[in-house]
A = this chain, B = another copy of it.
Amino acid sequence: MLPERTSEFQLIESFRAAIGNSSHVLTGIGDDTAVVERPDGLVLLAADMLLEGVHFDLSAATPFQVGRKVLAVNLSDIAAMAGRPKYALVSLALSRSLQKETGSDFAGELFRGLHSLAAEFDTVIVGGDTNSWDGPVVINVAILGEVAEGNAVTRSAAQPGDWIFVTGRLGGSIAGHHFDFTPRVNEALALRESGSLHAMIDISDGLIADLYHILEESGVGAVINEVAIPISAAAAATNDERSPLEHALGDGEDFELLFTVSPEDGQRLVDDNPLTIPLSHIGEIVAGESCQLRDNSGKLITLPRLGWSHNVGGS
């Protein structure tokens, strides 16, 4: 979640360098959550920090929405690993001037947003840290999830020949969906039940940017089909210099699942969608390292890593 690419790389390198080694850490930095091995199974650990003025703007979002979203983003990370969320820790820096304006309502509404989603997904907020200062509002949620049995689904196991799927419809999330989206926890568990998921990620940076994360971690390429991309109503309704397709490919914060399965499992998903939301077969994993789009005339176009800056108002 960094607007400046170079800083992001530097930071992630610092982060990687700081990571300790342990045979119990199966997946560290570089996936949606860390995966650690405990005597009774795999535990998933992740954290997301939302900053006022960067990730949300209090003139456009209610504290309820902000509270709900910070947990939703974490639940989406757990979903991307096909895990089940269990416990959350909430750390908060509240703005003193804001509290004077609104009394204790601000914190109460924020917690109400957090709690509504926690209750929906059987996640218990077990603690955290509360602070006041003169700076902008900062909220961090750290989450612990579990994998009932078997392995977590990472980004690194896509194989040439795999079919690529996406849940829901994509693009235009900035119009409102990024606050009210449902994290795909139950869908990921249902997909896992229905077959073998090879690689999975949640779409936070944008379809192509997140597909590239899978391609890089798996050492493969992909071809996706324009005709198959599920474009949301919000993306179709946009009226700017970018087409609805570009919005669906590039916009961030859809928080849908992007995953790959064997052709056999893929055919079964196409024949009988186990979900109550749309499921689209958008392309195939191939050898190589690039991501190409087959447009409606049949022409192959190599896609750059589009992406979304995660800045307020950015898209």
> What residues of chain A have their CB less than 8 Å away from a CB belonging to chain B?
1-4, 7-8, 10-15, 17-22, 24-25, 28-29, 33-34, 36, 38-41, 43, 45-49, 51, 53-54, 86-87, 89-94, 96, 99, 104, 107-108, 110-112, 114-115, 118-119, 123-136, 138, 140, 142, 144
Task: Decide if B53 touches A135 in the complex (CB within 8 Å).
Answer: yes
A18 and B114 within 8 A (CB): yes
Tell me which of B43, B47, B134 contacts A142 (CB under 8 A). B47
**Could you list 17 A-B pairs, sorted by A, with CB under 8 Å?**
A17-B111, A18-B90, A19-B125, A20-B124, A20-B125, A25-B87, A29-B126, A34-B87, A34-B126, A43-B144, A45-B127, A46-B89, A47-B90, A47-B140, A47-B142, A49-B93, A140-B142
Question: Can you add 4 more A-B contacts, CB < 8 Å, to A14-B110, A49-B129?
Answer: A21-B124, A29-B127, A36-B124, A53-B134
Quick check: B89 and A130 within 8 Å, CB to CB? Answer: no
Question: CB-CB < 8 A to A29: which residues of B?
Answer: 126-127
Contact of A18 with B111 in the complex, beta carbons under 8 Å: yes
- Does A36 contact B87, Cβ atoms closer than 8 Å? yes
Decide: B91 and A140 in contact? CB cutoff 8 A: yes
Complex: how many Å from CA A313 to CA B51? Answer: 26
Q: A2-B132, A14-B111 are in contact. Are A51 and B20 (CB under 8 A)?
A: no
Closest chain B residue to A126 by CB distance?
B34
Whole-angstrom distance between the alpha carbons of A163 and B266 in the complex? 67
Q: Per DSSP, are chain A's interface residues mostly helix, strand or loop, or mixed?
A: mixed
* A38-B40 CB under 8 A given contacts A19-B124, A104-B14, A133-B53: yes
Residues of B within 8 A of A48 (CB): 91, 129
Query: Bound state CA distance, A133 and B34, in angstroms?
Result: 25
Chain B contacts for A18, CB-based, 8 A:
90, 111-112, 114-115, 118, 125
Q: Which of B123, B124, B130, B144 contacts A15 (CB 8 A)?
A: B130
Contacts known (A14-B111, A51-B131); A25 close to B142, Cβ less than 8 A:
no
Q: B53, B89, B112, B138: which contacts A45 (Cβ < 8 A)?
A: B89
Distance between A87 CB and nearest chain B CB, rounded to angstroms: 6
Say whether A20 contacts B115, CB under 8 Å. yes
How far apart are the CA atoms of A150 and B39 in the complex, in Å?
16
Cβ-neighbour of A99 out of B1, B7, B87, B127 (below 8 A): B7
Q: Which single member of B11, B38, B89, B127 contacts A107 (CB below 8 Å)?
A: B11
Across the interface, name the chain B residue whose C-beta is closest to A16.
Answer: B111
Contacting residues, chain B, for A125 (C-beta < 8 A): 18-20
Judging by beta carbons under 8 Å apart, are B3 and A127 in contact? Answer: no
Q: Which residue of B lies closest to A103 (CB)?
A: B10
